[in-house]
């Protein structure tokens, strides 16, 4: 792309580039999951690839979807506080990451915001006709927060100490990308690009020897120099308001205030070895805004780009190193 900036990982795999085979068979699989679409472009895919991807995605939904009333997460949300619930290893992995990001971000990310998300019309109950008043926000905040949950990562069990609802939508989709990639590796796939609702991972290379090139998402109304990334054993996740509309401002809720963010952030993209981490951190940085968010990105050595609604752009040092 003419005029585009190019970001290349600082670590490349020579073995992957030695696999260059211009005549290799490439197949793109597509489907729907988690209220969005998915695709997987795979070099020399096994016949079982599509079915395997379907199984992985179904497992993530069955464990962690707050939209599926029969999921493990939904059952925990409905249960009376006080009892322990065994959770699947994948669920435990996501909870561990979510709690860690919540702590490091000062609560700008929280995996137990279900009540607030529902209050503002972004959860399973659907849109609301009127903006919630201060009392409603205070009530929902009291019924939110990861401090309402005790998590035992060794025994893989979880319990609520008070009425609060888990909502892992800010991190579970990224985990699903990682899980699909892991399953494809188990099947012997070495070169592929996976996308689920705008979150991506690129592994290996394309048959022509090129990496998997991806243009970082930018809101249509912003004039910003394009940024193209070589997704070579790398993931990217983007958080932003431009793909959804909200009647009361941003659809991104600040867990600390219980209200939509008003910091002007339009989108945040994070590159990471783990799409789960990229997804969670993109959500946290969006809430924090340019100053605090980019300072934390530097502290955590995150490769991140932030755009505001006026077209301002911030690039973290870790991402700048990929551009130099």
Is 197 annotated to bind ligand?
A: no
* 38, 57, 125, 193, 250 from 33: Cα distances, Å: 7, 7, 19, 17, 24
Tell me the C-alpha distance between 236 and 282, whole Å. Answer: 9
- ∠ Cα 228 229 232 (to 5°): 155
For residue 13 the two structure tokens come to: 């795999």
Distances 76 to 66, 114, 174, 234 between C-alpha atoms, Å: 10, 12, 22, 33
User: What's the CA gap between 46 and 44, in Å, rounded?
Assistant: 7
58-93 burial, b for 16+ CB within 10 Å, e for fewer? ebbbebbbbeeeebbbbebbeeeeeeeeebeebbbb
What is the SS3 assignment for 269? strand
Tell me if residue 288 falls in helix, strand or coil: helix
Paired tokens of 165: 């609802």
The CA angle 90-178-246, to the nearest 5 degrees, is 90
Q: Is 170 marked as a binding-site residue?
A: yes
Binding residue numbers:
170, 279, 283
- Binding site, annotated residues for Mg(2+): 170, 279, 283
């Amino acid at each position: 792309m003419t005029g585009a900036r190019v970001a290349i990982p600082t670590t490349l795999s020579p073995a992957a580039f030695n696999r260059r085979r211009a005549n290799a068979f490439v197949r793109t699989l597509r489907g729907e999951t988690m209220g969005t679409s998915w695709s997987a472009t795979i070099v020399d895919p096994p016949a079982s690839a599509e079915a395997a991807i379907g199984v992985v995605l179904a497992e993530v939904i069955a464990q962690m979807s707050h939209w599926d009333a029969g999921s493990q997460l939904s059952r925990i949300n409905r249960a009376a506080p006080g009892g322990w619930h065994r959770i699947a290893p994948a669920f435990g992995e996501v909870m561990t990451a979510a709690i860690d990001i919540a702590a490091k971000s000062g609560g700008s990310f929280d995996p137990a915001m279900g009540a607030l998300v529902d209050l503002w019309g972004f959860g399973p109950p659907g849109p609301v006709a009127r903006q919630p008043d201060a009392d409603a926000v205070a009530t929902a905040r009291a019924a939110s927060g990861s401090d309402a949950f005790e998590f035992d990562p060794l025994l893989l069990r979880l319990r609520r100490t008070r009425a609060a609802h888990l909502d892992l939508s800010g991190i579970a989709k990224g985990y699903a990308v990682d899980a699909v990639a892991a399953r494809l590796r188990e099947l012997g796939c070495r070169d592929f690009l996976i996308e689920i609702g705008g979150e991506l991972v690129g592994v290996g290379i394309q048959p022509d020897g090129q990496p998997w090139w991806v243009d970082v998402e930018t809101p249509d109304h912003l004039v910003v120099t394009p940024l193209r990334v070589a997704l070579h054993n790398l993931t990217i996740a983007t958080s932003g308001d431009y793909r959804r509309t909200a009647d009361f401002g941003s659809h991104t809720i600040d867990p600390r205030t219980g209200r939509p963010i008003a910091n002007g952030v339009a989108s945040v993209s994070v590159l990471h070895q783990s799409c789960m981490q990229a997804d969670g951190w993109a959500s946290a940085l969006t809430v924090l805004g340019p100053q605090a968010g980019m300072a934390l990105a530097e502290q955590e050595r995150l490769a991140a780009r932030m755009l505001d609604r006026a077209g301002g752009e911030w690039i973290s040092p870790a991402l700048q190193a990929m551009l130099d």
